[in-house]
Amino acid sequence: MIVVLHRHATREQVDSALEILAGHGVPVVSGTVRGAVALISEQDVPAAVAAELESAPAVERVVVVPGVQRLTSRVFSPEDTRVAVGAGGAVVIGGPEFVVIAGPCAVESRAQMQAATDAVVAGGAVMLRGGAFKPRTSPYSFQGLGLAGLTLLAEQRGRTGLPVVTEVVTPKDVESVAEESDMLQVGTRNMQNFELLREAGASGKPVLLKRGMSATVEEWLLAAEYLMHTGNGGVVLCERGIRSYDRSTRFTLDLAAVAEAKRRTHLPVIVDPSHSTGQPHLVGPMSLAAAAAGADGLIIDVHTDAAGALCDGPQALTGEQFAALTARLAPVVEAVGRTLATRRTQSLASV
Ligand code: PEP
Ligand code: MN
């Protein structure tokens, strides 16, 4: 149940609503709904108690939401949420435009970033990706450039106007990553790092929440609840493949989960065909399938020297492959009633 309070409710009025709930033994946590405080409970209440609450002066409305979801539920918020990213809402995810985000897995150097950024701009991406803090399976693998990587990423934003998304792996880095980027990424390995979710949510920046590689759709949505109950409405989900028995692809892309998540939640859902398949020749077909399945966008690895890449080179598309893919994507996106988002023109400067 969600009890949405009036924006101008007084402390006393809120306390009396809380007393009604306490009187019925209903524990609540407070969250924020579009800037107004809400009292959220795991429990639902009988209709008579809901009616009593609705007549309390502090209460705007009471919404009984079936199941475990609350703020992420389509029952609570039937319309699709649109998440604006970048200065002036340069990119909107979840609206009529299908959004393509692209860039290298990791930020490696200024020259690498400039080449990759030029390639993704030429291929029609509207947002740039690149990891500065990398959560690597092995401690001996390249761990990312850290803060220096954030600066190199932000340089490319300055040069092109593309909003940037980058991963944050630990709560203590949320502030600096939020300062240098337009959207925080929480990776598959951290989907249930609840302290990180709280901190990332509280930053107020849009968050790209990847599905845990062994997470159910319900667990994924509950992780999004952690972000949303901090008052952050800018949450975008990303299906990036789940672990299965089959090693012929890096992970198993679960496109049914995309359609199912879109049914259960108003939040946008995008797909990562690169990390899920791990193979460039599968990125194209899975991108087209994701668009047809109702995804709101894609996040694709692009590297101009995949053989020399410090992270995930084998799955990256070249600039030419990326441009060929977006050309094939446009008619599929149009067939499902959308258009491919295009970059607001800004000429490329050198850095
Ligand atoms: C990434 O996008 O760079 C990444 C590490 O993805 P995931 O968390 O899905 O493995
Ligand atoms: Mn990667």
Residues 118 and 231 grouped into a single domain:
yes
For ligand 1, whether the C-beta of 278 sits within 6 Å is no
Ligand 1 centroid from CA 321, angstroms: 21
What's the domain range around 57? 2-63
Residue-level pLDDT at 345:
62
Question: Does 68 map to a domain?
Answer: no
CATH no. for residue 25?
A: 3.30.70
DSSP state of 315: G
Residue 35 pLDDT level (bands cut at 50, 70, 90)? confident
Question: Does 71 map to a domain?
Answer: no
Residues 177 and 225 grouped into a single domain:
yes
**Which residue's alpha carbon is at the smallest distance from atom 3 of ligand 1?**
105
Percent of the chain that is helix, strand, coil (3-state, to 5): 40, 20, 40
Residues 133 and 188 grouped into a single domain:
yes
Ligand 1 centroid from CA 312, angstroms: 10
pLDDT at 350 over 70: no
Residue-level pLDDT at 34:
80
Question: Does 92 map to a domain?
Answer: yes
Domain count for the chain, please give it.
2
Pair of tokens at residue 204: 């107020």
- Contact call for residues 301 and 317 (beta carbons, < 8 A): yes
Residues 101 and 232 grouped into a single domain:
yes
List pLDDT tens digits, range 123-140.
999 999 999 999 999 999
Residues 112 and 203 grouped into a single domain:
yes
For ligand 1, whether the C-beta of 187 sits within 6 Å is yes
Residues 49 and 194 grouped into a single domain:
no
Residues 49 and 108 grouped into a single domain:
no
Ligand 1 centroid from CA 89, angstroms: 24
Pair of tokens at residue 254: 């679960």
Question: Does 69 map to a domain?
Answer: no
Residue-level pLDDT at 343:
86
Residue-level pLDDT at 346:
58
List pLDDT tens digits, range 99-112.
999 999 999 999 99
Of 312, 250, 255, 310, the residue nearest 286 (C-alpha): 255
Residues 161 and 51 grouped into a single domain:
no
CATH no. for residue 162?
A: 3.20.20.70
Question: Does 350 map to a domain?
Answer: no
Rounded to the nearest integer, the mean pLDDT of the chain is: 96
Residues 99 and 9 grouped into a single domain:
no
Total-model pTM:
0.96
Residues 156 and 218 grouped into a single domain:
yes
Ligand 1 centroid from CA 115, angstroms: 21
Residue-level pLDDT at 32:
86
Q: Which of 37-46, 54-63, 85-94 has the lowest mean pLDDT?
A: 37-46
For ligand 1, whether the C-beta of 240 sits within 6 Å is yes
Residue 348 pLDDT level (bands cut at 50, 70, 90)? low
For ligand 1, whether the C-beta of 250 sits within 6 Å is no
Q: Which of 129, 137, 167, 238, when mutated, tests ligand 1's pocket best, judged by the most ligand atoms within 8 Å of its CB?
A: 167
Q: Which of the ligands is closest to the CA of residue 315?
A: 2
Pairs from 251-257 (Cβ < 8 Å, separation ≥ 24): 251/213, 251/275, 251/276, 251/277, 251/278, 252/276, 253/277, 253/286, 254/211, 255/286, 255/289, 255/290, 255/293, 257/211, 257/217, 257/220
Ligand 2 centroid from CA 2, angstroms: 38
pLDDT > 90: percent of the chain: 94
In sign, the C-alpha dihedral spanning 187, 192, 195, 197 is: positive
Compute the chain's Rg from CA coordinates. 21
pLDDT at 68 over 80: yes
Residue-level pLDDT at 263:
98
For ligand 1, whether the C-beta of 188 sits within 6 Å is yes
Dihedral over alpha carbons 52, 58, 61, 63 (to 10 degrees)? -70
**Which residue's alpha carbon is at the smallest distance from atom 1 of ligand 1?**
105
For ligand 1, whether the C-beta of 230 sits within 6 Å is no
Residues 259 and 123 grouped into a single domain:
yes
Ligand 1 centroid from CA 286, angstroms: 17
Residues 21 and 148 grouped into a single domain:
no
List pLDDT tens digits, range 224-268.
999 999 999 999 999 999 999 999 999 999 999 999 999 999 999
List pLDDT tens digits, range 173-225.
999 999 999 999 999 999 999 999 999 999 999 999 999 999 999 999 999 99
For ligand 1, whether the C-beta of 131 sits within 6 Å is yes
pLDDT at 279 over 90: yes
